[in-house]
Amino acid sequence: MSAPRKIIHIDMDAFFASVEQRDHPPYRNKPIAVGGKPEQRGAVAAASYEARKYGVHSALPSRIAKQRCPHLLFVTPRFEVYRAVSQQIREIFYRYTDLVEPLSLDEAYLDVTQNKLGIPSAMAIAREIKQAILQETHLTASAGVSINKFLAKIASGLDKPDGLYLISPEQAASFVESLPIEKFYGVGAATARKMESLGIHTGLDLKQWSETDLVQRFGKAGRYYYRVARAEDDRPVNPNRIRKSIGAEESFAEDLEELETMTAMLKKLAEEVVERMNKHQRYGYTLTLKIKYADYQQITRAQTVNVLLREASVLSNLATALLLEHLDRSRKVRLLGLTVSNLTEPSVPLCYDQLLLELPPFFHS
C-alpha cells in the first residue's frame, strides 16, 4: 500500500476585508463589509471578523447587513489589489511545490508529498507558509493538513482565524464518523436538510448507507458521499484546473420592469461574456440565464446549441429568447446574469455559420 499523500489547504482569513483593514488604519478592529452600499442595492462580498459577530456574511444583502450592524462600514471592493496580493501569496506556495490548485483568490490546495525543499513534514511546510504570508503580506491564513483534499479543506476551517489543524491518517476515519453532516464539504444546506430527514446526521450515519442507495437518493453526488464518509478522496491536486464556465451578472439600483431595458442589459452582459471568453480563448455550447426578482427569489434557465457561442449578438439573441419564455412579467427584476458553460477551445477559425434565432416581432428592428 502506498504512503498517504500530504495535502495542505490554505484559506486566507476574511481576505478582502483583511486587505482593506491592512491598507486603511481607520478600518482596523472595526466591523467592515466589502461590497455594495445599502442604498445601491448591493450585497456583501466579504465581512471582517468584527462584522461576522453581528451575523454579517458574504452574499448577505447590504440592507440586511446594515440592519444587523448599524455601525457597519461599507468599503468599495478593489479587485485589482486583491488579485495582486493573491499572486504574491501563490508565489510563496511555488517555493515548496508546483502542485498548486487555486480555488479562488483566497484559497488553494497544495500537494507537498514530494516538495522542492525535501521537507518531510507537511505541518512544518504549512507553518512556514503561514509565517511567510504574514511576514510578506501582513495578512493571516488558516491551513488544514491531511491525507486528501476533502479532509484538508475541512481542517482549514476548524481553527480560524490564523489556524493550523492536522487530521492525521490515524484520525481520519473516526474524525469523519463524528463530523456533523452539515460540516461536510460538498454538502449544501438543502442536501443537509434532505439527509437529516433520512436520519443522516453524522458521518457515521452516512457510512451506513450503500453506494447504490446514495446514488438513488442523490444522483452522481452519492458516489462522492459514499467515499468521503469513509475518509476517501482520491482527487489529485490539479495545477491546471480547467475553467468550467464564464459569465457576468449585474444588480440594479432600481428594479427593472420594462422588457426593452432588460434586453438592453442582456446585450451589455453578452458583450462582457464574449470579452472574457476571448481573453481565455474558451467558448461554449450552453448559455444559462439567471433572473433574480425583487424578493430575491431567483431562477436559472439554460439552452444548449450545436455551434460554439462566441459572438455577442448570438448570446444576446439566445438570452432574449430565454427571457421571453421564462420571465414572470408580473414581477420586478433586481439582477440579470449570463453564463456560458460546456466550454472548449476553438479548433476552427472564427468565421462560421451564424446561429439564427427566431424572436418575436417586438424585437426585430
Where do the domains of the chain lie, and which CATH numbers do they carry?
A: 1-168 (3.30.70.270), 172-228 (1.10.150.20), 245-363 (3.30.1490.100)
pTM of the model as a whole: 0.71
Neighbours of 169 (CB within 10 A): 14
Strands 73-75 and 32-35, how do they pair? parallel
Q: Say how far apart CA 186 and CA 225 lie, in whole Å.
A: 9
20, 107, 232, 250: which is the annotated catalytic residue? Answer: 107
* Termini Cα distance of the chain: 69
Number of alpha carbons in the 13 Å side-chain half-sphere of residue 204:
4
Tens digit of pLDDT at every position of the chain (365 positions) = 578 999 999 999 999 999 999 999 999 999 999 987 877 667 888 999 999 999 999 888 888 999 999 999 999 989 889 989 999 999 999 999 999 999 888 999 999 999 999 999 999 999 999 999 999 999 999 999 999 999 999 999 999 999 999 999 999 999 999 999 999 988 888 899 999 999 999 999 999 999 999 999 998 889 999 999 999 999 999 897 667 889 999 888 889 999 999 999 999 999 999 998 888 778 888 999 999 998 889 999 998 887 789 899 999 999 999 999 999 999 999 999 999 988 876 644 333 333 434 344 433 33
Cell 453532516 identifies what position?
Answer: 181
- Chain-centre distance for alpha carbon 21: 23
Tell me whether residue 107 is one of the annotated catalytic residues: yes
Q: Say how far apart CA 225 and CA 198 lie, in whole Å.
A: 14
Q: Say how far apart CA 90 and CA 108 lie, in whole Å.
A: 9
Neighbours of 247 (CB within 10 A): 17
